[in-house]
Amino acid sequence: MYTLYYSPGTASLAVHLALLEIGAPYRLELVDFDRQAQRSAEYLRLNPQGRVPTLVIDGKAHGEVAALLLMLADRHPESRLAPRVGDAQRNDLYQWLAYVSFTLGATFRNWFYPRDLGSAEHPDAVKGALRTRIETAWDGINAHLGEGGPYLLGDTLSMADLQLLMYMRWSRNMPKPALHWHALASFAKHMRTRPSWQKLCDLEGLTEWRG
């Protein structure tokens, strides 16, 4: 039994979606951001960074989305959400998880949390640079999906697709959301028909961008 510490629609979304895809038993523990629960002494003992998600595996707490997705893939090879070790596509999976984390994930964090960059609100130049970085990433991913989709690894659904879908949802209120790109929009339309996505929206109470 896994325990996932989550907050609806946040970075925990991809890990929650992975648990649903795998079908493994798990328990949800809400980290209430409105009450600053992520900064409580109790939660900081689990996750010293004060971020979600935290996934408890065999009694030990772990963090970082990409790492958790790989841990779950390795523990549940029958889910086929990661190519086997030694397969050339396994290297592609590593690359996509890292790229999406460091390019989209890190930039989105700066977009949503300007205090991380030392200001209450971004100056226009900083906000413009962050937007450009995100939209440039969408350009590249869209081209990749258009040429070799429907998934990031071609015909094979993987953990990287679950991570990508999460960040696409995060863009929904940006000046140019990810759905403005044709191949990304097709990808999202397909992914949002999956039972796992619909169940996640029910469990987390998500209505925006449900599909």
pLDDT digits (tens, 9 = 90+) for 182-208: 999 999 999 999 999 999 999 999 999
pLDDT digits (tens, 9 = 90+) for 43-59: 999 999 999 999 999 99
Average pLDDT value for residue range 152-176:
97
Which residue would you say has higher pLDDT here, 121 or 209? 209
Burial 69-95 (b: 16+ CB within 10 A, else e): bbbbbeebeebebbbeeeeeebebbee
Which tokens is 195 given? 């039972």
Q: What's the confidence (pLDDT) of residue 100?
A: 97
For residues 52 and 38, the answer to whether their CB atoms sit within 8 Å is yes
Average pLDDT value for residue range 30-49:
95
DSSP letters for 153-182:
TBSS--HHHHHHHHHHHHGGGSSS-GGGSH
Average pLDDT value for residue range 148-173:
97
Q: For the chain, give the mean pLDDT.
A: 96
Q: Delineate the domains of the chain, giving CATH numbers in brackets.
A: 2-80+198-204 (3.40.30.10), 88-194 (1.20.1050.10)
pLDDT digits (tens, 9 = 90+) for 77-97: 999 999 999 999 999 999 999
Q: How confident is the model at residue 161 (pLDDT cuts 50, 70, 90)?
A: very high
Which tokens is 8 given? 């609806």
Average pLDDT value for residue range 154-171:
98
* Percent of the chain residues topping a pLDDT of 70: 100
> Is the per-residue pLDDT at 114 higher than 90?
no
> Is the per-residue pLDDT at 176 higher than 90?
yes
Torsions phi, psi of 113, nearest 5? Answer: -125, 75
